[in-house]
Structures are given as C-alpha cells and as structure tokens.
Amino acid sequence: MEEAVITRKLTKKFGDFIATNEITFTVNPGEIFGFLGANGAGKTTAIRMLCGLLAPTSGEAKVAGYDVYQQSEQIKHVIGYMSQKFSLYEDLTVRENIRFYGGIYGLSGAEIKRQTESILETLSLQPVAHSLVASLPLGWKQKLAFSVAMVHNPKIVFLDEPTGGVDPITRRQFWDMIYQAAHRGTTIFVTTHYMDEAEYCNRVSIMVDGRIQALDTPRALKQTYGVDSMDGVFQILAAALPPNELIVRC
Amino acid sequence: MTNNMDAIVINDISKKYGTTSVLQNISFSVRQGELFGLIGPDGAGKTTLFKILVTLLPADSGQAQVVGRDVVQDYKKLRILIGYMPGRFSLYPDLSVQENLSFFATVFGTTIEANYELIQDIYSQLEPFKNRLAGKLSGGMKQKLALCCALIHKPEVLFLDEPTTGVDAVSRKEFWEMLRRLKERGLTILVSTPYMDEAGLCDRIALIQTGQILAVDTPEGITQSFGKALYAVRAANTYQLIQDLRQAPFTASVYAFGEYLHLTTQSETTTPEQIVAYLQARQHQGLEIKKITPTIEDSFMALMAQQPAA
C-alpha cells in the first residue's frame, strides 16, 4: 500500500529562521500517528506544508500520493483538518455547519443530507440540530468538529490539539472516535500536549528545534530512553536542547 | 494577619449567565501560604469563579473574602492586595517586555526596583530581551512576563487562571517549579488548570465540573477516597480490548489511560484471574493485569459519573 504521508528532508525557512529542518518520515495508511513537540518546535509549520497551505523551502513531501508543490489542490480534497482553535462556525447551527463543510468539499445534496442525518444520529445531536454551535458544550463541539472534518471521507485527517481543555470522559470518547476512524482505514495525524494520549498512537514522532529527534512506537521509545511513560521520553528529549524560547511565532 | 487565617473564603457562591447556571453553591477555603489547585475542564466555571474572587464580576448570591476583605464591599482595597493572571494573554503586545512590567508597576503605584527581588528569579530569564515587543515573544516567555506583571506590586494572594493551558509538557513543569518557589516565600496561590496530572503538585485541590465542586482535599486524600479496586489492563490489541471489556459482565467502568486501560468491577469479588480468563477466551495476546493506585483523573471521572445532572 502507498504511504499516507512521505517526506524527505522537508524544510521551511522564514528568513534566517529554520522552522522545519530536513524532516524525513513516513506515515502508513490507517495508522494513528502522534506528532509531538514543544511549543515552537515546528509542528504547525510542518502540518501546514502537509495540508498544502504553505510551500516548503526545500525537500520533498507527498500526501495521499499527491505532491505538496504541484498538487496542493488535490491534497485539500482528500484530507480533513480540525484544530481546537478553529473548526466550526459558532454563529451557524449544527446542521448549517455540516451542510457548509459538505458543500465546501463538493458533496452532492443527497450525500450532504445522508451525512447530516448520520452525524446527528451518531452523536445524538438531533435535539440541538437547529441550535447555534456557540451554545453547545465544548465536548460536543469537539466531537462535531471531528465528524465534520470527516464528512467527505478523507484518506487522512490532521488533528491539531483536538482535545485541549476537554473533560477527561469526553476526551476518551473523542479517542474512541479516532480509533473507530482508524479502524475503518482513515489515517490519523494528531498533535497533543497530553502525554497519555501519545500512548494511544501506533507511532509517535517528537520534534525538537525544527528536527525530528525520535520516531518509533511508544513502547520502543520508552525502552530506548529507559523510562516508563511518554512524558518521561518527552521530558528527556525536549529538555535536552537549549531553550527555543525566542522564536517569533508564525 | 494571623498565620492560621484563611487567605480565601468562599461561601455558597452562585452565578448565572442568563438562564445558564455557571456556578452552583460553591464553598471552600484556601489557607494562607497554600498552593491550591482548582482542577476542571473548560466550561466548568473556573474563570467565572476567578473573576468573582478578583472583584471583576459580582456573584448572584453568596459571599467571598480574600485576605479578610469582602470581594464586593472592599473591592478597592482588595485589588492592591492580589495579583491576577487571566487565562488569555493579558499583556500589551505593542509594548516591550520592560514597558509592560513598568506599566503594571506604575498602575499599582510602585516601581520595578522596589519589588525586584520577588520577580528576579523569573525576570532574569527575560531581561536579555527586555526591549523586545511582548507580542513577539514565544508562548513560554509571554507566560513568564505575565507572571512577573501579576507579581510586581508584591500581592499577598496570587490568582493564576489556566497559566499552563496549551503549553508543552516541559514548559509546564518549569512553570510549576516557579510556583513552588513563590509558595516557599509565603505567597498564597490559587491556580486553575484542566490538566489533571498537575493536581499532584498542589497542597490541596478542588475538583470542579459543570459549576459544582466534586471534592476538596489533598491530592492523596482525593485518590484514597476512590474506594474501589482499580486494575490496569494491557493487551496487544488495545482497540479490541476496550470493546471486549465494555461488553464484559463484570465491568463497572473502563477508560483508556496511556498504554493501559483502567478497569473497575461491579463486584469486589471479581478476581484478576477471572478477568484474564475472560480475555483469554477472546483470543487476547500479551495480556497484563495489575492492581493500581488511582490517579486524580481516575477519581475525577468516578466523581463525574456520580454527579447529579446540572
């Protein structure tokens, strides 16, 4: 099977500053891939390049078989994206949000209707289908945002800190949805600051200072660094290098 | 002020926004010199409670005193005695690091020099970049500057609303070490966080969810009152394991926790051997089961599940 993501020496510079420095990795189809790193390590820049939103300075990358330089428009059709900061329109209703994203991704009217009913039923959101998203509890919004990011049945979904601030039960329900999606064959590319969630991933990469410092299964990483949790691995890797505090955030 | 006095006393505080109840009959106290954590997810009411305590928002009912002053009657006197770091970035992005600090010092009628000793430890890391605009700092640096600005008038009580949200695990650890050192100097600190793993760093904690306090105790006290046997279970196929354990007749609750699942059983007579036998019958490989001490997050979820609907 073709890799979901493949990069070779992918680099992005902003002036003199190297945000992403020759990162090379692959993500397998159907894999839950954890993309970790400290604030300012270069994760967001890397994700923006992979989503076809930012042209790399050098290196290569393919997402679902499409080249990030030449085929960024095709990439956008086969990926889903959700972040804690932006995903749904607060001043649209639940139904309107689903219809909007369905339309953006070019689904037919019939498909949008079918997806809407399916999402409302799966998440038990029928009673609030006509409520503004702004009025929903955060946990519901996050689950809806994930479903909307999956509305066009993407091959890969990028989740940028999807569970920040969510209560612990909802956070686990959210991971159930991730597991189910992966089980059906969708590739999951996820960032998080919760180190216990890193353990839920098939493989994890840890970025430090623009580079990928480690990439393996959680268990192998713990063995390599002689610690019993991913938090331990992260503390060793991310604290080992000089503080990267003065980066102008882009 | 006497040593055994409570620095913060909250008595039956309630607050609604329109018809939405945000805080329901909140009562607890924070002792002088304590590092006290308010732990709960977004939307639990943490920020609303902070705003009431720092005199920025009146409660609908109930009273609160901070360092012996009523938050409504004595709000003007109180504002000088407390430091507040709101959750959202509270600095002026178009002022430099030094200008921000000097602005907050001036507002409180003091100077950077007068209380420099209190912030020295933290500010010394920022000083090489004192002419940089605050808006151009990284997240971790902004957070340190905001803390300095909240400390510059030498408050008696410090209120930190989610100082570590969205901050990576290494910077979070660093920040908690700073709080520890401030506490050692006698400052009372009330800090809120959605990260349950930070609870263990507090002297005492209150767990809050949908506007209700679930428990107030030391972190050890909270986990000791879990009151049920808790097992960590692992197998080669985690996804299948969680499905099977959910279906199991003996299961009371099952939640993912890192590479293990945490399981409680309906009956205390269920043995680990019975659980293993059940899973072996379903072809699980690499099975491991061990009895464990609950974490704050285990306790929080158990209390959430018991909580009456809001």
How is B55-72 classified by DSSP, letter by letter? TSS--SEEEEEETTEETT
Please determine, for residue B280, whether its predicted confidence score (pLDDT) is greater than 80: yes
A215 part of a folded domain: yes
Chain A partners of B238 at a C-beta cutoff of 8 Å?
A: 200
- Give the pLDDT of residue A240: 64
- What's the average model confidence in pLDDT over B115-138? 92
- What's the average model confidence in pLDDT over B260-289? 95
Determine the 3-state secondary structure of B215 from DSSP: strand
User: Least CB-CB distance to B138: which of A39, A196, A219?
Assistant: A39
- Number of domains forming the structure of chain A: 1
Mutate to test the interface with A, among B138, B214, B255 (most CBs of A within 10 A): B138
Task: Report the C-alpha gap between B206 and B208 in whole angstroms.
Answer: 6
Task: Report the C-alpha gap between A178 and A190 in whole angstroms.
Answer: 10
Contact indicator for B145, B134 with CB cutoff of 8 Å: yes
Structural domain span for residue A82: 5-240
Alpha-carbon distance B210 to nearest alpha carbon in chain A (angstroms): 10
B residues 237-256 closer than 8 Å to A (CB): 238-239, 242, 255-256
DSSP B196: G
pLDDT in tens, B50-100: 999 999 999 999 999 999 999 999 999 999 999 999 987 789 999 999 999
Percentage above 90 pLDDT, chain B: 84
Find the DSSP H helices in A123-229. Answer: 138-149, 168-183, 195-198, 218-225
pLDDT in tens, A87-136: 899 999 999 999 999 999 999 999 999 999 999 999 999 999 999 999 99
A247 part of a folded domain: no
- Give the pLDDT of residue B5: 80
Chain A partners of B167 at a C-beta cutoff of 8 Å?
A: 39, 193
ipTM of the complex: 0.80
Chain B partners of A164 at a C-beta cutoff of 8 Å?
A: 165-166, 194
A245 part of a folded domain: no
A246 part of a folded domain: no
CATH number at residue A17: 3.40.50.300
- Give the pLDDT of residue A1: 61
- Reported confidence tier of residue B4, pLDDT bands at 50, 70, 90: low
A232 part of a folded domain: yes
- Give the pLDDT of residue A63: 97
User: Least CB-CB distance to B304: which of A137, A167, A200?
Assistant: A167
Please determine, for residue B204, whether its predicted confidence score (pLDDT) is greater than 80: yes
Please determine, for residue B302, whether its predicted confidence score (pLDDT) is greater than 60: yes
- What's the average model confidence in pLDDT over B203-213? 96
Q: Which residue of B has its CA nearest to A222?
A: B259
Least confident of A161-165, A236-240, B102-106, B273-277: A236-240
A128 part of a folded domain: yes
In this structure, the number of other CB atoms found within 10 A of the CB of residue A94 comes to 27
Task: Report the C-alpha gap between B164 and B155 in whole angstroms.
Answer: 21
Chain B partners of A231 at a C-beta cutoff of 8 Å?
A: 169, 197
- What's the average model confidence in pLDDT over B274-286? 96
Longest alpha-carbon distance in chain B: 73
A249 part of a folded domain: no
- Reported confidence tier of residue B166, pLDDT bands at 50, 70, 90: confident
A121 part of a folded domain: yes
Chain B partners of A192 at a C-beta cutoff of 8 Å?
A: none
Residues of chain A with pLDDT under 50: 242-250
Task: Report the C-alpha gap between A89 and A92 in whole angstroms.
Answer: 5
